[in-house]
Structure 1
Amino acid sequence: MNTPTDHQWYLIQCKPREGFRAEEHLTNQGFTCFHPTHRVEKVRRTGRQWVTEPLFPNYLFIQLDTVENNWYPIRSTRGVSKMVTFNNQPLAVPTCVIEGLKHRLEDSPSEQPAFSTGDKVRIKEGCFSELDAIFQAQRGEDRALLLLTLLSTPQRIEVPLHAISRF
C-alpha cells in the first residue's frame, strides 16, 4: 500500500513543440514536473543565438502518487498528448534515473562554445594526429570543421570535437 509520500515519476508524451506549455499547465494544476533542457547554439537569419531546448523532445516527467493524484486531468491538459503506458498501465520511471539526469544536467558545461572561429587547435586522434590546425566552425553537436595546411595548401577537414584540443 502506498504511503502519503510514496511518489513515483512517470513519463508524459507532449504534443509536438508544446512541451513547455504542457509543463506550465501541469505545474499550475499542482503537479511536480521535470522537463530536462539544455542550451544549444542555433544559426538564425539574425545570426547565432543560444536557445533552450528539451533534452527529450515531446516528453517530460511528472511525479504522481498513485493513491492521491487524480490522473484524469492530465489527459486534457493543454500540450499533453498522453501518458506513456505499457499494457494500458503507466510504468514508473525509477527515481535513480531522474536523479542521474538532474545530476548530469547540473554538471553540464556552460553555454560558452568550446572553440571559437580562428582558435589554434591540435588534433589528438586519427590520421592527422599531432598536427596543428585552425578551428573554423562546429558541425552539429560533435563535429568540428578545421583549416589544416598540408603541402603549403590550406585544406578544410572535419573531425570529431573530442579529437581536438586547444593549442
Structure 2
Amino acid sequence: MAKKETIWTTFGITTMALMTTMLIVSTYIKIPLPFSTASITAQTLVVNLVGLLFAPLQIVAIMTSWILLNVLGIGGSLGKLLGPTGGYRYGFAAAAILTSLFCRKVKNLKAQTAFLVFAGIPVIYLFGAVQMKAVTKQPWQAIMVQAVLPFIPLDVVKCFVAAGIAKILRRVVPQF
C-alpha cells in the first residue's frame, strides 16, 4: 500500500502507469469460455495487486486511465465497456478501491492480505452479472452460469497469488 508521501511522486506516477499497462496486457491473457461472452483473464490478478498496493486516489487514477484507454481502443473498446462484459471493468475499479480501503483499516496487514483480496471478488461478480443481465436479458440462473460460477476457482488462486506478490513487493520496495 502506498504511503501518503509517495502518492504523487515520480515513483508513484511511474508505478501507476506500470499498473495501467499491466491491466491492458492482462486483458489479452485470457481463456475463452464456449458458453459465455466472458473469458477468464489475468485482469483479476492485476486488479487485486492494485488494490493491495495503492491508495484509493491512485486507484481512481489507474482505473480511470485504463477505462479511457479502453474507450480509445487500447485493451478494449467502447463496445466492450457497454457490452455484456463491461460491468466487470467497473467492478474491477470498485473492488480495487474497496480492497485498498480495507487494507488501510487492518492492523496486521501481513496476516490479513489474502482475506482482504477476497473482499473485492463479490463486487466484481456483482457488477459483471448485473451488466450482463441488463444487456443480454437472460434469466439470473443463466447469468450465474456465465458470469460468476466458472470464475470462482481461478479467482481464488489469483487472490492468493496477488497476496503473495504484494507481500514480496512490500518487502523489496519500501515505497509500497
Asked whether the two chains share a fold, i.e. TM above 0.5, the reply is no
TM-score by length of 1: 0.24
TM-score by length of 2: 0.24
Relative contact order: is structure 1 or structure 2 higher (C-alpha 8 Å, sep ≥ 6)? 2
Give the structure with the higher percent strand.
1
Give the structure with the higher percent helix.
2
Higher-Rg member (1/2): 1
